[in-house]
Amino acid sequence: MVKFYVNKSTQPHEGLVVGIFVESGFHSSVEEIDKRMDLQLSTLKKSGKLSAKLGTQTAIYTLGTLDSDMLYVTGLGKKEDLTSERLRKAIAGVGKEMAKKKDQDIGILVDSFVTETLTAIDVATLIGESLALSLYQVLDYKEKTNEVDRQLESITLYSEEEEGPLTHAAKVGYTYGVGTNRARALVNTPGNLLTPTDLAEEAKELAEKHDFEFEVLERENMEKLGMGALLAVAAGSDQPPKMIVIKYQGNDHSDDLIGFVGKGLTFDSGGISIKPGENMHQMKMDMGGAAAVLGALDIIGTLKPKVNVLAVIPSSENMLNGSAMKPGDVIRSLSGKTIEVRNTDAEGRLILADGITYAKQLGATMLIDVATLTGAVLVALGDCTTGAVTNHEELMQEVLEASAKTDEWIWGLPNFQPYKDMLRTSDVADLNNAPGRLAGSITAGLFIGEFAEETPWVHLDIAGTAWQSKATHLGPLGGTGVMARTLALFAINRATK
């Protein structure tokens, strides 16, 4: 865990970080450093050897001119163009450089990153968040020595801002990054090491860490309650299903209860409607919705906003054996609605149907479900934007406000009646779980909405955003932890309403 400190005058560090813009002048704090280094920074910048291009990192040996051994100059581009997203990229570059040099103690001149639209508090928050995200590493299982690399341990922020607010902002940002990394770690865990039972154990450990209420429904409980949709999906696997329930009670004076429902498919073969073999190994990430919910709860548990949150995670595998559900089967969900299974690979919406219904039974007054639901959302929005469907525009607007702050982009999809009618094309059941390729992401989302009914509800399809196929400035190949920060911020924002 990185420790944050605030100071006004610089102290010795392994590395000192400053930001520079394309504009010719330096911030006054950087000008002072430039003077102590005999104007080397000005000379290098004029000659083009010191780049201010966004995201560039230039390491300069100070040779005793400063208390710190190294000066790291971070390019910020044009001041007028610097946004929170771009600043994350720049600071993530700092994190990568620190990891490469194995620095344990660094200082950052916060005020050299400030613009008219990004305050010192904003910068401190983004420093904490971006460094946590950029320093995340995927756990591997290769044979190796027990040697542990030196890791970043302390960060001192230098600013004219008051110490208390700045330290708090950095710690809050770091908390958001740590929660996201928890979600990433879950998504990246192989399916044989993260079964529904393992996922329930992870949730239990999180609940114990933050003193949350915790419960797990076993197969026999589900049978008594009538959770036919979750049980049908789980029938093809030897791993027992779990219905995981966590509750955070942060405001005893409020009747509002936010319901987060996360898809917890720990591996998805497609069932009888089996997926192609290519890239099927990535289907360990089909519990990305559950991971996002647990990551959000980690953030909420640390920051403790005055709001009430219920998390429901239906978890199973989707495998194929002699007991597996088949195309043409009719199942009865917890709500009583019957479903014809046209495609066994459209299983996420089935387990979420019972998850949504159970969250309502437990008192949720609003619902947000998160799921790696459809390949169709990748076709529609690519791998950088999450698709959304809702029955309540005001709730949707609150989710969009949170996502705009976290830069986890969301785009709303239509919910017109013809899409809803497509779900009622079964001759033998109330609903058809896979009415066809047309508008696949919309109909999948609206299928879940059938179980939300009149409860305000937003569906987030993260099939395109939960996994990245190549490393980026904020993280390595694999799980992104997307929506953990947005869900947490949504809940924290609700606490102020």
* Residues designated catalytic: 275, 349
What is the largest distance, in Å, between two alpha-carbon atoms of the chain? 83
Binding residue per annotation — 268?
yes
Binding residue per annotation — 252?
no
Among all chains, which residue has been given the structure tokens 């344990």?
A: 104
Burial of 86 per CB tally in 10 Å (0-12, 13-18, 19+)? middle
CB 155 within 8 A of CB 131: yes
Q: Which amino acid is at 281?
A: H
CA dihedral 456→461→448→369, nearest 10 degrees, is: -50
CB 75 within 8 A of CB 52: yes
328's tokens: 């043409």
DSSP secondary structure string for all residues of 228-259: HHHHHHHTT-SSPPEEEEEEEE--TT----EE
C-alpha count within 13 angstroms, C-beta hemisphere, residue 184: 25
Buried b (16+ CB within 10 A) or exposed e, 27-53: bebbeebbeebeebbbebbeeeebbbe
Binding residue per annotation — 354?
no
324's tokens: 């597996």
Torsion angles phi and psi, residue 442, rounded to 5: -70, -50
Binding residue per annotation — 263?
yes
Report which of 472, 486, 492, 465 is spatially closest to residue 180, judged by C-alpha positions: 486
C-alpha count within 13 angstroms, C-beta hemisphere, residue 148: 4
**405 three-class SS:** helix
Query: C-alpha angle 202/207/208, rounded to 5°?
Result: 100
Torsion angles phi and psi, residue 196, rounded to 5: -55, -35
Rounded Cα gap, residues 107 and 158, in angstroms: 7
CB 20 within 8 A of CB 111: no
Binding residue per annotation — 122?
no
Helical segments of 102-162, H only: 120-134
Residues making up the annotated binding site are 263, 268, 286, 345, 347
Residues making up the annotated binding site for Mn(2+) are 263, 268, 286, 345, 347
